[in-house]
Amino acid sequence: MRTVQIEEISKKEEFLGTNPLTKEELNEAIQEVIKQIDLNMEYLQDKFPAPATKGLKYPIIDCIEWTDGFWTGMLWLAYEVTGDEKYRKHAEANILTFKHRIENRIEVDHHDLGFLYTPTCVAAYKLTGSEIAKETAILAADKLIERFQEKGEFIQAWGEYNNPDHYRFIIDCLLNIPLLYWATEVTGNKKYEEIARKHFETSINNVIRDDASAYHTFYMNHETGEPLRGATRQGYSDDSSWARGQAWGVYGLALNYKYTKEKGIFGLYEGMTNYFLNRLPDDNVCYWDLIFINEAKQSRDSSAAAIACCGMNEMGKYLDDENSKVYQGATNNILRSLIHNYTSKMHEEGDPVLYHGVYSWHSGKGVDEGNTWGDYYYFEALVRMAKQWDPYW
């Protein structure tokens, strides 16, 4: 497994000196999330929130976006922490929608099947034993492996399959391939895990730079499968490190270690996580691209901060050294900043849970707005810190 440069953590003493979040802090923050979920259940009914807010309100959409699974994932988290059947009932109704979507192949010609079906159907199966959810998630895994490219050994992110202009993968997919590991676990068919492992190896060997920063996307030669070049569609530039992409790397490495137990992942994780932590502003919630530090005219991406917290918490299960204590402190520090500075106790229907996120800066979508994955991963991070939690991923 390849190696990367590992920076020393510049805020090491600050993170080591951070007090853990108290049960009271976590429970209060969780209750504020629940309040917003209750309002948004009434607001959305049987529909879904758009990927990002507009004017800090979620437009209402059908189940057609790559982000729809995050709303249902929040319902399952709410069911876990409250035991209230109303969340289970609403989530199970959503499962039927996702079943219809995959069976009829509605807007599923992309790699985001993990984002769609892991926090929905895999979660449902783990929590309730639902055979409908299980079979639906397996159908999604079958659709995901259809995008595997033998030349280059990767899952093509989006665009027409085999189109040379779209012969690429993106770092986000590290969060989609856990669906494949899970599919092998429940079916006994090794094909899913084999493709997940091949994609993982191609990703870490190309999309992660030698300095442990990440490209957003990486192009491969469609004729030979050889690596071509890294680029961005979301970050500031091809050479910068898009904050959410770096966070996908932090969490994705932790989840892939969960399934593969390959020790070489530790160095990659330490490199990517340290790079992320060393580029945080004063309040420890990153800007939308890590090229910016304390830039007043740039927007934060609170969702990237929440994702990184989940990744550090997950990898904390497997690390036992001084750095693990630094990462624990960083998680508490970042999450406390999100609780106090990036959420609101004033709730209305259609509001986000987590404010000050960025969907797509270049296209002007969701800039300094809420977004569904930010809401979900913030809630997941709180639940991770509040209880022993069995990940959906």
Question: What amino acid positions are annotated as catalytic residues?
Answer: 112, 172
DSSP calls for 318-368: T--SHHHHHHHHHHHHHHHHHHHHS--S---TT--SS-SEEEETTTTEEEE
Distance CA(35)–CA(331), nearest Å, equals: 24
Distance CA(42)–CA(38), nearest Å, equals: 7
Distance CA(43)–CA(364), nearest Å, equals: 25
Q: With the C-alpha atoms ordered 285, 288, 294, 295, is the resulting torsion angle positive or negative?
A: negative
Q: Which structure tokens are listed for 382?
A: 């709180």
Distance CA(342)–CA(323), nearest Å, equals: 27
Half-sphere exposure of 217 (CA within 13 A, CB side): 19
Largest CA distance in the chain: 57
DSSP calls for 45-98: TTSEE-SB-BTTBPPEE-S-STTHHHHHHHHHHHHHHH--HHHHHHHHHHHHHH
Give which of 380, 216, 214 is closest to 306, Cα–Cα.
Answer: 380
In 3-state terms, what secondary structure has residue 270? Answer: helix
Q: Which structure tokens are listed for 275?
A: 């790079």
Which 8-state DSSP code applies to residue 154? E
Distance CA(387)–CA(393), nearest Å, equals: 17
Which 8-state DSSP code applies to residue 58? P
